[in-house]
Amino acid sequence: MGYMPLEIARLLLGLTIAACHRRIADFIIERERSLVLTFRQKGVPLPAALSIETAHNLYFGVGIFVVLVELLRIYQLGH
């Protein structure tokens, strides 16, 4: 059971991602849009960045996925 603190830390990381998914997504989308603009100015065609709503949903899903995986791992360590 020496791995339990690490599993709890990962669980908290997943909860933090799910709780702060809007701020994380807004930050990433802002950077992504500036990168897309820079590459387009240099002549590299890139697809449009994700919509804000899609990015919010994506990061919330990632956070919940991490939480579920860690809950499963903690359950397996306990049995």
| Residue extents of the structural domains in the chain | 4-78
Distance (Å) of CA 37 to CA 45, 74, 76: 10, 43, 46
Q: Is the pLDDT of residue 1 over 60?
A: no
The pLDDT tens digits of the residues spanning 21-33 come to 999 999 999 999 9
Q: State the Cα–Cα distance between residues 38 and 41, nearest whole angstrom.
A: 5
Give the chain's mean pLDDT. 92
The pLDDT tens digits of the residues spanning 7-19 come to 999 999 999 999 9
The pLDDT tens digits of the residues spanning 53-70 come to 999 999 999 999 999 999
